[in-house]
Amino acid sequence: MNALGIALFALVILISVSLHEAGHMGTAKAFGMKVTRYFVGFGPTLWSFRRGETEYGVKGIPLGGFVKIVGMTPQDEDADDAKAMWRFPVWKRSIVMSAGSLVHFILAAVAIWGLAMFSGLPNPALDHPESPQLAQPPVVQVQPCVVTGTATTCTPQDPTSPAKAAGLQDGDVLLAVNGHPVSNWGQAVEQIRPLAPGQVATMTVKRGDAEQTLQVTPAGVERKMTDGSTRKVAAIGVGLSPTVPYFVKYGPVDAVGASAQHAGNMVGATFEALKQFPQRIPALFSAIGGAERDPNTPISVVGISLLGGEAVEQGAWDLFVSLFIAFNLFIGIFNLLPLLPLDGGHLFIAWFERIRSWVYARLHKPDPGRVDYFKLMPLTYTVILIFGAFTLLTVTADLVNPISIK
């Protein structure tokens, strides 16, 4: 099952990349540009056929795909063709160059929508920077005592629960502490812990459809803090109600809004991961050398395929789909970076030319014309070299010391 999962995830990657190239081809043809080749894979041709001016086929190395659009730049050898891409308006070229990433975004959006309906998405009520539990609605579960230290069960030495003594009941929703509104458990803790032991606190709760105000006198207990220190804090002897789910399923209509919110969170996480790439490189070298692999280090298509294999082996199809979503969002965003030879590099140059021409026209100066791609070749080769080295590094780390969902 693991091998099947690896092969299956590698297949969905190949399909995604092929659809990326199909996005370029389809929009180019729709605008009247000349497309001469569309192939899945690289290397020797296994099978192909020609329809109109385009040759379609499959090559022997299934590591991606490519499409040949005639005259992408004025310096191309086929740039003299009347249907060369560079001759078209910048907005049409922009759509063609961004169509590949748009395909990835569509695939991710559909997958998130399906996940929302059939497996569920993380409960937005649990979105808290410190702990999902702290983001839960403040629905209380009254404890019989206030435990001290790191204990989880009551002992005869623990003080009786002040919440129970004050009349709080399971299922009460905490609305305010001493007049300060609270909407999640983290805010409730922030209001309760600074109280002095023995200081009476006024708590407003919602019980059923009615609001009630109760007077609670917190007890002082020793608690271990997140930094490892121990200090005395106020506690009232309540816990979280276990009724708030970590994942929520949605209907087809409600799933649209929930999917958009989840996609926005994932896009933000993707940009954050891109920013952290340079500082994660030393950890990759350490992992290759035998150190424990940091799960936050970058991962290659090899590594994500291995994770896909584990997901299938354990029957975690929701994780398999989540990996597919993460892959497509990352590739879609990465391809739009303003660097050659990425699609974003061509987009940047196209709009640079357009803006520069507009500025020169306003200054009554001659149009400086097109950017000379040959002058950018050293920079392009440098980017290719860096990306190639980074890919080799991540693949090596994924083979020698892979990240595991375990």
Supply the residues annotated as catalytic.
Answer: 21
Give the burial string for 150-179 (b: 16+ CB within 10 Å, else e). Answer: eeeebeeebbebbbbebebeeebbbbbbee
Cis status, amide bond into 378, omega within 30 of 0: no
DSSP, collapsed to helix, strand or coil, labels residue 167 as coil
Contacts of 100 (CB under 8 A, 6+ apart): 20, 21, 23, 24, 332, 335, 343
Rounded to the nearest 10 degrees, the angle between the axes of helix 2-31 and helix 301-313 is: 130
Evaluate the CA torsion angle 128, 132, 136, 142 in order and state its sign. Answer: negative
DSSP per-residue string spanning 31-59: HT--EEEEEEEEEEEEEEEEETTEEEEEE
Extract the tokens encoding 195: 């109280």
Extract the tokens encoding 166: 């004050």
